[in-house]
Amino acid sequence: MSDSDPELHPLSQTLGLVRTVELDPAGRATLEYRAGEHMCHSGGVVQGGFVTGWIDAAMAHAAIAMGGPDIAPMTLELKVSFFAPARPGIVVAEAWVERRGRTTCFFEGRLLDTTGKVLAKASSTLMLAAKARVEQASKAAAG
């Protein structure tokens, strides 16, 4: 999957997804993003919301890889710790399930630069909801 893939979801395009490196049914995912200048604030540092979004997306992909395409991972809680600034260029978001329950799971993830330096880490509590039910509720709310 690349930036030019016509099937790329608009959210993935906004986040700068370059490719999906790994989707493991054991509950792991690795995604590669391109951080652009337009994502930066002062000093060429990527805004923290993008960093959070990249790791959050990796955790959601890990949940879908684990639970299948009929689930919609819903974030109940998200905590991010920033260790070093992300700069324009390629970054890698990795995520894995830490503990799996029937509908509530705990995930962890991290963002690395291309040298393997950890830029940020995150943990999240995700509810695995039925995708059809989430989509139906969204349509009803839009109404």
Reported as a single tens digit per residue, the pLDDT across 99-128 is 999 999 999 999 999 999 999 999 999 999
Tell me, what's the pLDDT at 36?
Answer: 96
> Over the stretch 33-83, which tens digit does the pLDDT of each residue have?
999 999 999 899 999 999 999 999 999 999 999 999 999 999 999 999 999
Q: Per the domain annotation, does 29 fall within a domain?
A: yes
Q: Per the domain annotation, does 28 fall within a domain?
A: yes
Owning domain of residue 121 = 10-142
Q: Per the domain annotation, does 2 fall within a domain?
A: no
Q: Per the domain annotation, does 127 fall within a domain?
A: yes
Q: Per the domain annotation, does 5 fall within a domain?
A: no
pLDDT band at 5 (very low <50, low <70, confident <90, very high): low
Q: Per the domain annotation, does 3 fall within a domain?
A: no
CATH number at residue 50: 3.10.129.10
Other beta carbons within 10 Å of 86: 24
Q: Is 107 left (phi over 0), alpha (psi -120 to 50) or beta?
A: beta
Distance of CA 78 to the CA centre of its chain: 11
On whether the CB atoms of residues 57 and 80 are closer than 8 A, the answer is: no
pTM score: 0.92
**Domains: count for the chain:** 1
